[in-house]
Structure 1
């Protein structure tokens, strides 16, 4: 699937503001992919579809979670967390996107997760730092994204947890798992070497 076809698909499912956000995330993701030697095509497609199910009805998303392999504990948390996991299923069902790296990046773009691959990290970061966003502390994160993808993701996880705690919101476990795993890696863990994160193939999978 090429960029224009993908954009044409998602545009019909998003508000104008959300579509503009999606375009910016895709552009940011491609920049990061080129910087960190990941397939720019995969990054672009994952970014374009990351919010594909953002405006699906709660009833439909709930049904998909209940009847699929998605973890049922999603239903115990805010519905804003549902659209990524649901989209990871719908892009395969509706458009034949079977590439596991793309589906994983779509799945975890909001919460993060433990053992994120480079494409996961790129979409997670791009969604946070895209140029249309503006809030305290963001410039520090954007600057870090130019030199250290792992530390950038750690900063985002930290900021997200702090923000949710300040609002006294419940926090999905994957967000804590992401923070803990990223902290471990920054403390000298060897996840990059063991999980082939630095050797992502650029042409595998179907799009």
Structure 2
């Protein structure tokens, strides 16, 4: 691990270069050479810091997860206005998670997790697990309709966020950037809240 500011800068440059080279899924025998060239270092330096290519991958996934802001950190629960809170959760999730950078990382981890499950564990703990827990904490403070009160807040969070990710992630993985349209996602968030049966608080019986 780096012990000086100069080493830390080199360390970060290597990880940034690894993200640029590996997340495009061009995972071939020259990947480390390209990372060394892009970061202005050498293969020897990369191996000295990370041991091998898998060690570099672990560090890259962890580094990217650490740099990713919790997408729900700015959302405040309004107990008597469940609908606006759920919309805020959905909008923040869509902005923070359903974007090219995060979904490229997700795709990469899924592709590599069968042979290197530790990559999946790093990503899960720092990403989806943390976000589901944050959403559940917000939802647990809401005055929900009776049919949702019988469902644990963690499951409501999972069902809701999964309604937003399903076809969005799959179509991105298959079709690329063309599927990401903010206006369509905003409408999708509101439709998902409606499908949960959460109405505007003025309309609550």
TM-score tier (shorter) = under 0.3
If the length of structure 1 is used for normalisation, what is the TM-score? 0.27
More helix by share: 2
Answer with 1 or 2: which has the greater Rg: 2
